[in-house]
Amino acid sequence: MTVRVRFAPSPTGMFHVGGARSALQNWIYAKQQGGVFVLRIEDTDAARNKPEWTEGILSALDWIGISRGSYEGPYFQSANAGEHRAAAARLYDSGRAYYCDCTREDVQARTGSQYQGYDGYHRDRGLGPGPGHALRFRTPDEGTTVVVDLIRGEPTFENKLIEDFVIARGDGSPVFLLANVVDDMTMGITHVIRAEEHLPNTPKQQLLWEALGVKPPVWAHVPVVVNEKRQKLSKRRDKVALEAYRDEGYLAGAMRNYLMLLGWAPSGDREIVPWSVIEDEFRLDEVNLSSAFFDEKKLRAFNGEYIRALPVAEFIDACQPWLTGTGTIAPPPWQPEEFDADAFAAVAPLAQTRIAVLSEIVPNVDFLFLASPLIDEAAWTKTMKDGSAELLDDAVAAFEALESWDAESLKSTLEAVGAERGLKLGKTQAPVRVAVTGRTVGLPLFESLEVLGRERTLTRIRAARLRLV
């Protein structure tokens, strides 16, 4: 039997990091088993679906390494509507489903509570199809439904506690529960790997599989992804869009690595490991049962490690979207003609050790490409105190006299300027840094001045001195 897994997102918004984790787990499992990964777009929510969301799913999968052409699909759930309706008709004809015209208020009036489930009122009343008549599945009165799960063992559900659930609405359109089952049957899905939030629906789906005469798939419910308050990640509350992390400058490799650690870990005391190790060692039956904490701070640290591990040439290439403002990346504050590729290449190794996400490259190097620096006013106020004007005068005079404009000479010269005033180098260089770069933190100062050049450096220090008049 060929293993066939599926990833079935809905095109109703940005691509959720939890969905990305599920996609990767399915992808790896299929590869390990020599199987097939199927992409199905569940697009039946016409009111919320947008073509750009579908393209966003495909692009996000591309980014994390599940590239187009390497999987089966994408299929679209809406194209299988005829099969959904045919399955509903088979269930009705076989007596496994019946029609009901009860409203929610009707059920509440009979049970006396809005929290009670449907009471089976129309089970044997012989109501036929018609406008406003929903089709309900006839759940067995006795026994249990056992869900064999590769991660959770054998969760058991008493059938008497499962209400006769709706499988087709009053207008005849099948609900998601039935459509999902029929799609999996049609596509020959053998293993369903998904988040544990779907587990409560699994006994209903398994009953549908059995009622339609098909052996259910192998189930595997991975832990839900939560925030620092142990709440399920929410689009309304948390930063969950994979595209947002991509556009901020997280590397695909770092994101893949981190997502796979949400509920699982490789052997040994390791977390940052090559993707080949993850592909080799990942096991569904080793996934933890407890909720997986999505720690953005930890992800950021991961990304910094991945950035520092890049060869410098690859780091320079990776920074290009932020340096040029391509695709979905906002343009930088300089004009294209102001950018100097050689200057950037000179400081790239310094920047690579200091940033955690690629978007941070812009504020670290913008002083090189702007006619004048973008002054952080808070940094100016903090740094430019009594004596700063005279210190800048002395720095200009000392720098003008330099024969060699290199980092070592610049450092020793400014160090001497500070020593005459009884200042350590840190205090001496702070006003110079703000005058030249506009900020109190950034790349190593003297290497930056070397690349910026004598004329531009002196022009900026003089401009800062005039501001202090």
Q: Which of 50, 160, 235, 385 is catalytic?
A: 235
Segment holding 364, helix H or strand E:
helix 361-369
The SS3 of residue 363 is helix
**Cα separation values, 408 from 271, 444, 445, Å:** 39, 12, 11
Q: Is 235 a catalytic residue?
A: yes
The SS3 of residue 294 is coil
**Chain CA centroid to CA 208, Å:** 33
Buried b (16+ CB within 10 A) or exposed e, 348-377: bebbbebbbbbbbbbbbbbbbbeeebebbe
Say how many C-beta atoms besides its own lie within 10 A of residue 237's C-beta.
11
375, 434 contact by CB (below 8 A)? yes
Q: Which residues contact 189 (CB under 8 A, 6 or more apart)?
A: 4, 5, 6, 38, 217
| Maximum distance among all Cα pairs of the chain, rounded to whole angstroms | 102
The SS3 of residue 194 is strand
Task: For 262-348, list the strands marked E by DSSP.
Answer: 292-293
Using a 10 angstrom Cβ sphere, with 0-12 exposed, 13-18 middle and 19 or more buried, the burial of residue 465 is: buried
The closest alpha carbon to 167, from 105, 91, 103, belongs to 91
Helical axes 176-186 vs 81-93, angle rounded to 10°: 100
Q: Please give the Cα distance from 139 to 121 (Å, whole number).
A: 13
Residues with catalytic function: 235
